[in-house]
Every structure is written in structure tokens, then in C-alpha cells.
Amino acid sequence: DQQVKQNSPSLSVQEGRISILNCDYTNSMFDYFLWYKKYPAEGPTFLISISSIKDKNEDGRFTVFLNKSAKHLSLHIVPSQPGDSAVYFCAASSAGRDDKIIFGKGTRLHILP
Amino acid sequence: GAGVSQTPSNKVTEKGKYVELRCDPISGHTALYWYRQSLGQGPEFLIYFQGTGAADDSGLPNDRFFAVRPEGSVSTLKIQRTERGDSAVYLCASASGRPPETQYFGPGTRLLVL
């Protein structure tokens, strides 16, 4: 029973365009959400996070949007660059209540030249 | 500064053998996590240490899996009587505290059980 779902296994985007990665969750107790990026043969690297008290968090080219009523979040990357090609994991936790972070299965992003 | 390191980077063993996987966290990080990532899946939580004690081991799949962190720094994940289904990448992460403190991951140990 997946509590964090990334329904697109892969996504291809033209360089310079916007990449939108989606994530849905089922546990209403989650109050903190994260995106991690992973290159082959490396561990995941933290990218950006958002608390449930916000609906948007921006860091340079990366913006995360949270829609609590829909239990949905998305990561926007604009403009997309070749180095953005990687696997992106959405993750969630109940910060302060539970020490676990629950990860989705990931979406492989390909930036096309 | 140095990040999280894990040794070995790759481990091949035979079914039924015992293996130990080591994690060196970022210096000063009190929180340490072990995850397992199978092919096509995201990291799956195994166990969390705060200091020397296992604060949450609810993710360990069965009693063949055990982890220690005797001095509150280096941790060892131990797997007894390995099975082919144990083949996965085992990831370690450390953090300066509990969530929402950022977890920093090591490169992982790729375990293959033949």
C-alpha cells in the first residue's frame, strides 16, 4: 500500500522548457514533504522541501507546490537543463510524530537537447 | 567536509551467508537511518538511530536483520542467513536531528545474494 505515489515512471522534456513532476499521497498525517534527486551509483540528494503550512516553496529554478485538499504536490523545474536528468523521489513525513520518511518510487527525468 | 560514506560499495555473497554493511555518518550528526532500495522502488525505511539507541526499528523486515551504533557514530547493518530477496542497494543517511532536519545520504552498498 503505497502512501506516496509517483505515477509517472519517466518523463522527457526539452532543454529550456519546464519540467513538472507530480506526486500524490494518501496519509493525511503527513505534514512535511521533500524532493530528492538521484544520479546513478550515488545516494539521493536533498533538493527542496515544503511544510504543510505552506502551499509553495521556491529555490532558484526549483519550485514545489502543495495542494493539501487534493493530497498532491508537484515539483517544477524551469528552465530545465541537461544536468537535471536524474531520478526524482517525492517523500513525506509526519515531522515531530514519526521519524520515518516515506518515499515514492521515483520518476526518471530525461532532458532532451 | 566529508559526507556520509558506506563500505563496501559492492558486496556479492552466497545464499545463507552473513554480511555486514558499514556506514560512517557526517561528523556530529546524531541521527542515522538505514534504507533499502530494490530495483524500481524508492528507498524503504529500515531503522533509525538517535545517538546509540535504535529509536525506531519498525522497518526491519525480519529477525535476520540487525543494526548497531555502539558509540553513536559509525553504524553496522548485519544480515544473517542471507536470501536472494535481500539483494538491493542499502542506503545510509545521517541528519543533525529528527525530521524535518535534512537527511544526507551515502552512495549505498549494492548487495547481491547469489
- Supply the pLDDT for residue A70: 97
Q: How far is CA A105 from CA A87, A99, B83, in A?
A: 9, 19, 23
Query: Given CB atoms, is A70 within the 8 Å cutoff of chain B?
Result: no
- Supply the pLDDT for residue A98: 72
- Residues of chain A in contact with residue B4, where contact means CB-CB under 8 angstroms, are 43
SS3 at position A84: helix
- Supply the pLDDT for residue B99: 72
Query: Given CB atoms, is A4 within the 8 Å cutoff of chain B?
Result: yes
- Supply the pLDDT for residue A100: 83
Q: Pick from A111, A86, A97: which is nearest to A35 by CA?
A: A86
- Supply the pLDDT for residue A96: 67
Q: How far apart are the first and last CA of chain B?
A: 37
Q: How far apart are the first and last CA of chain A?
A: 37
Q: For chain B, what is the mean pLDDT? A: 94
Quick check: B100 and A51 CB within 8 A? yes
Query: Given CB atoms, is A23 within the 8 Å cutoff of chain B?
Result: no
pLDDT tens, chain A, 113 aa long: 789 999 999 999 999 999 999 999 999 999 999 999 999 989 999 999 999 999 999 999 999 999 999 999 999 999 999 999 999 999 999 876 777 889 999 999 999 99
Query: Given CB atoms, is B17 within the 8 Å cutoff of chain A?
Result: no
- Residues of chain A in contact with residue B108, where contact means CB-CB under 8 angstroms, are 43
Q: Which of A6, A44, A101 is opposite residue B99, by nearest beta carbon? A: A101
Quick check: A32 and B99 CB within 8 A? yes
Residue B103 has φ and ψ, to the nearest 5°, of -95, 135
B49-88: pLDDT as tens digits: 999 998 889 999 999 999 999 999 999 999 999 999 999 9
Quick check: B43 and A104 CB within 8 A? no
Compute how many other C-beta atoms are within 10 angstroms of the C-beta atom of residue A75. 23
Q: What type of residue sits at position A112?
A: L
Quick check: A105 and B55 CB within 8 A? no
Q: Pick from B114, B59, B63: which is nearest to B90 by CA?
A: B59
